[in-house]
Amino acid sequence: MTRDATHDVTPYDALLVVSFGGPEGPEDVVPFLRNVTAGRGIPDERLVEVGAHYELFGGRSPINDQNRALLAAIRRDFAAAGLDLPVYWGNRNWDPYLADTVAEMRDAGHRRIACFVTSAYSSYSGCRQYREDLGGVVATMPDAPELDRLRAYFNHPGFVEPMIDNTIAALEQLPAELRAAAPILYVTHSIPESMAEGSGPEGGAYVAQHQSVVAEIQAVVTQRTGVEHPGELVYCSRSGAPHIPWLEPDVNDRLRELAADDVKAVAVVPIGFVSDHMEVAYDLDTEAAATAKELGLAYARAATCGTDPRFVAVVRDLVLERAASLRGEEPARASVGSLPAPWDLCRPGCCPNPRAPKPAVGEIA
């Protein structure tokens, strides 16, 4: 009997949602940051300073609750679509840890697992580091299941289309008399320039992918609103040694420049993030919003995808796409904008580890 490709997840028998993790309470903040910065020799005194912004949120990151909501939404989506695939969750830096979750999956009898990473773009910290963590689990776990990282999805329509709607909604929050002249700042996580230059199989993928999404959103927003807003890519969450160049401009610096140019209103769109976790809740809703208020700028922040049904359906689409490919079929690979859908398997030197090479899953042999 011919299988229905809209339901057939063979050879997969489970899905693992892979995320960054975050503290659940004040006592978790420094241990969490120790995990994040492991191997860098950063003293606890500095980690206490770095983690001070968690105090504004009761010592708790929003990311874990957002992942729980995403898992529930994925399970509902799978059930409604007739996909019989259990869904698990594991983090790089906090409970539930990847190793514990994969061990649970192995003990439940799962042998081939699709891994959806809550990071849409190509970079060491956003892709390869997750693949290294998964590779470390496989290398150290007896009878480990096979783990396949699903491809990057920065230009999947289920990610981009909600961001278009959210951008227009943010513009509509601005005062009507200021809206037409308001620029749009598209915000993503800053990374070291060297990491950006090494991202992707040919280098430069991190910025190029974001610029492609910016161009797509800009074009559709102009088409739908009839107004061509200035738009540009800016960055947030810079960290690390001050002598190491990171991607710029910082969103706060750009807000100051715009205010100096007599701009009166701005919309901020967090295209680098799939949900409203700490980089959004603190860097944009707290810090950048305070900068805008100080400057007298009307400020509106677009929502992230979160559990938008179109974004949730991206997970199902990627599972079915990869499963079909592994069965020797040629599935459609959804994408919008100037770049093609990303690759399934990475070259060994793609998004290189800035310290030393480590084994990783999802590489071309």
pLDDT digits (tens, 9 = 90+) for 269-297: 999 999 999 999 999 999 999 999 999 99
Percent of the chain's residues with pLDDT above 90: 90
Handedness of CA 192, 198, 201, 204 (dihedral sign): positive
45-49, 205-209, 328-332: least confidently modelled range: 45-49
Amino acid letter at 147?
Answer: L
Q: What is the tens place of the pLDDT at every residue in 228-272? A: 999 999 999 998 788 999 999 999 999 999 999 999 999 999 999
Helix (H) or strand (E) holding 195: helix 193-197
What percent of the residues of the chain are helix, what percent strand, and what percent coil, each to the nearest 5? 45, 15, 40
Burial label for 70, CB within 10 Å (0-12, 13-18, 19+), is: buried
Domains along the sequence of the chain with CATH:
14-153+307-326 (3.40.50.1400), 157-301 (3.40.50.1400)
User: Residue 1 pLDDT more than 70?
Assistant: no
User: Residue 5 pLDDT more than 70?
Assistant: no
User: Residue 2 pLDDT more than 60?
Assistant: no
Q: What is the tens place of the pLDDT at every residue in 134-183? A: 999 999 999 999 999 999 999 999 999 999 999 999 999 999 999 999 99
Q: What is the tens place of the pLDDT at every residue in 44-103? A: 888 998 899 999 999 999 999 999 999 999 999 999 999 999 999 999 999 999 999 999
Output the DSSP codes for 109-169.
T--EEEEEES--S-SIIIIIHHHHHHHHHHHHSTTPPEEEEPPP-TT-HHHHHHHHHHHHH
- Tokens standing for residue 345: 């398997």
Question: How far apart (Å, rounded) are the C-alpha atoms in residues 47 and 35?
Answer: 11
Percent of the chain's residues with pLDDT above 70: 99
Question: How far apart (Å, rounded) are the C-alpha atoms in residues 108 and 344?
Answer: 26
Q: What is the pLDDT of residue 240?
A: 76
Burial label for 285, CB within 10 Å (0-12, 13-18, 19+), is: middle
Q: What is the pLDDT of residue 4?
A: 62
Q: Which residues contact 33 (CB under 8 A, 6 or more apart)?
A: 42, 47, 50, 51
Q: What is the pLDDT of residue 150?
A: 98
Mean pLDDT of 179-195: 97
Q: Which residue has the higher pLDDT, 357 or 255?
A: 255
Q: Around Cβ 185, how many Cβ atoms within 10 Å? A: 27
Question: How far apart (Å, rounded) are the C-alpha atoms in residues 13 and 363?
Answer: 21
Beta strands, E only, 231-334: 231-236, 265-269, 298-301
User: Residue 300 pLDDT more than 60?
Assistant: yes
Greatest CA separation for the chain: 68
Average model confidence (pLDDT) across the chain: 95
